[in-house]
Amino acid sequence: MPERTRDATGSLIDPTHPIEDRVPRGIWVRVLIYVCAGHFLAGFLFLLFALGGRG
């Protein structure tokens, strides 16, 4: 079994599994933007239907 060492951030380095154990920061930023934009769009549509239902 290969020896598992740690890199400078403390993450395990395993040569048999070259997959990162952390999600890149750019993905988190993109997800946050999409979630905020989705909620804004949903709120806007809710406002349109609420105001249109008064008429």
The Cα 15–Cα 28 span in angstroms is 26
Domain ranges, ordered by start, for the chain: 23-55
Reported as a single tens digit per residue, the pLDDT across 37-49 is 999 999 999 999 9
Report CA-CA distances (Å) from 23 to 28, 29, 31, 50, 55.
Answer: 7, 11, 11, 39, 48
pLDDT at 33: 98
- Mean pLDDT per 10-residue interval, the chain, length 55 residues: 72 68 88 98 98 90
Q: What is the pTM of this model?
A: 0.57
